[in-house]
A and B are shown apart, each in its own frame.
Chain A
Amino acid sequence: MGAIMGKYLLRLYITGRTPQGNRAIANLQRICQTELAGRYEMEVIDVIEDPQAAEDARIIATPTLIKALPPPLRRIIGDLSNKDKVLIGLDLSGPEDPNGDHHG
């Protein structure tokens, strides 16, 4: 496993409470609870309420998950339904399971 000691700071940007946004929140919570239990902080930002936050983080697609900490900063776009891709994005995928994506 990668950064074992580091605390994860995750920001999830969504555009309103759409089914897609809610799915992303649920998927992220599930992944964090299983993979990062006790060592993550998660923030959900609705860009409709706070467009400036989207401006500052240069967000164009939603949902976007930003791994602010530990470095390097990473962006994961989509409703996070492909768990393997999320783990790659979070630098949590071990070399033992490099299985490709199942669907587009």
Chain B
Amino acid sequence: MAEPKKLPAVTKLPTGIDGFDHIGLGGIPAGRTTLVAGTAGSAKTIFAAQFLAEGIRQYDEAGVFVTFEESGEDIRANVGSLGWDVAAWEAEGKWAFVDAAPQPGDEVVVSGAFDLGALVVRVEAAVRRIGATRVAIDSLGAVFSRFENEVIVRAELFRLASALKGLGVTSIMTAERTNEYGEISRHGVEEFVTDNVLILRNVLEGEKRRRTMEVLKFRGTVHQKGEYPFTIMPDQGIVVIPLSAIELDQRSSYTRITSGNIELDAMCGGGFFRDSVILVSGATGCGKTLTSTEFIAGGVAQGERSLLLAFEESRDQLSRNASGWGRDFDRYEREGLLKVVAVYPEAAGLEDHLIRIKREIDSFKPNRVAVDSLSALERVSSIKGFREFVISLTSFIKHKEIAGLFTATTSSLMGGESVTETHISTITDAIILLRYVEMFGEMKRGLTVLKMRGSAHDKDIRAFTIDGRGMHIGAPFRNVTGILAGHPRHVPPAEIERLGQLFSNEGPLGD
């Protein structure tokens, strides 16, 4: 049997676009052309420009930008808002434009056969002049609409692609699409010019714009499949959120940290785990903000730093709440042990929130992160987008090996579960339920540890009270049933005894 011929492997060139190289499993195929297709407003030009900008900023690789649509002047101005000083790069010989945009007032008459030889020559000259390794061409659709003869244009684009290959540069060509889900490109031929296709989408989903990108094909090499959300940050450009591409390689710590409440620590079997994510679910006013406040205060007492991301109340309100429970946020902040970031959920899209949160975590380097409340973010996103957000945030926090406490608001006062809970209960390591319990015409509060991954925990539903020093967890509700379902029912002591005997053979703990 003949030995299978060993083909040269396709190597990848990291684009440097945040998160993209994760879904491209290393970047885009090096030395080849990748088509970036998308509808109007899907950020194709930004992608193309950022491919060059990151090359310069991160890898010191020069790039040539070939523009068929906007003038170089327009592009300089447009990407300037993303913080890229193209003019400075041009002066340093790191960036060169090949301006192939139509000249204003230019009337073109076509008489007989032609080719795009001059374009190829100009691109080659620019690449050699600055020693470019990256080329971005924006966009092919404009070439088709400019020259009516599609046969010539198609042949010439192939010539351009092969010339780029000959130069050994890695390139991106953008192309228009008419539909988000349909033909890859408007003219139906652009995708044949290249072996690699990336699609950018900008889909309206439940009144919200959602940007995603998908690697359709990378010939001869691997990539992540499916659509990945991305966003455009004002001073950074495209940031891709590589959800399922996130590897589950977080280490699990057995170190315990305090919840900030001694009784709750006891119920959890000695506190939370160092790198765990805890969900606190309950109706409004039930004690969720208190739980997160104690979580922060518990960290401060150990000299740990906490980041509080507030989506429902302002910093001042939170500070006032905390002082009502004997916790001094102002002092914590002065000591540099607390940072409160209060944002209105509607202030940005969910992807933007996620990126900002990650940045806050990266810059403040907290030991603990509290989000109060996660449910508030539900209203700025579709269900799918919210789920992706939570998965991404959770894995980021775990990756940083810090503890996260998220609160979720249930829709009904007495029980039931929140949407947030439904989506993230399997992701979190611990779930604490806070419930109102109606007892003989009086509202009491109940708390239970529903789940505590990797540890034994108290299964009781315990009553708790709140006063000027915080939360006090007391005895279990012994003669009430149906609390979690939201229908507390008083049970006579004789019945409890009978039930107790029924299960007397069962061990005290079992999970």
Give chain A's interface residues, CB within 8 Å of chain B.
13, 15-16, 18, 20, 23-24, 27, 47-48, 51-52, 54-55, 58-64, 72-83, 85-86, 88-89, 104
Contacts and interface: CB of A to CB of B under 8 A. Distances in A.
Interface string B98-119: 1110010111111111111111
A89 to B, nearest CB: 4
A15 B111 contact: no
Nearest to A57: B118
B131 to A, nearest CB: 16
A79 B100 contact: no
Contact of B118 (A27, A54, A80): A54
B121 A48 contact: yes
B114 A79 contact: yes
A75 B100 CA distance: 14
Interface of B: 98-100, 103, 105-122, 124-126, 147, 149
Contacts of B116: 60-62
Nearest to B101: A58
A37 to B, nearest CB: 20
A74 B111 contact: no
Contacts of A55: 98, 122, 125-126
A81 B114 contact: no
B125 A51 contact: yes
Contacts of A76: 108-111
Given A61-B116, A78-B111, A88-B109, 17 more contacts: A15-B115, A23-B112, A27-B112, A51-B124, A54-B118, A55-B98, A59-B118, A61-B118, A61-B119, A62-B118, A72-B107, A76-B108, A77-B108, A77-B114, A78-B110, A79-B112, A79-B114
B71 to A, nearest CB: 10
Contacts of A86: 109, 111
Contacts of B119: 60-61
A42 to B, nearest CB: 16
A13 B125 CA distance: 16
Contacts of B109: 74-77, 85-86, 88-89
Given A60-B100, A61-B147, A47 B117 contact: yes
14 contacts: A16-B117, A23-B112, A24-B112, A54-B122, A60-B100, A60-B119, A73-B106, A74-B109, A75-B107, A75-B109, A76-B111, A77-B110, A78-B114, A89-B111
A48 to B, nearest CB: 6
The CB with the most chain A CB atoms within 10 A, among B100, B109, B122, is that of B109
A104 B119 CA distance: 23
A-B pairs, top 7 by smallest CB distance, nearest first, are A15-B117, A78-B112, A81-B112, A51-B125, A85-B111, A89-B109, A79-B112
A46 to B, nearest CB: 9
A81 B114 CA distance: 11
Contacts of A18: 117
B118 A64 contact: yes
B214 to A, nearest CB: 31
A73 B107 CA distance: 8
Nearest to B128: A51
B108 A75 contact: yes
A90 to B, nearest CB: 9
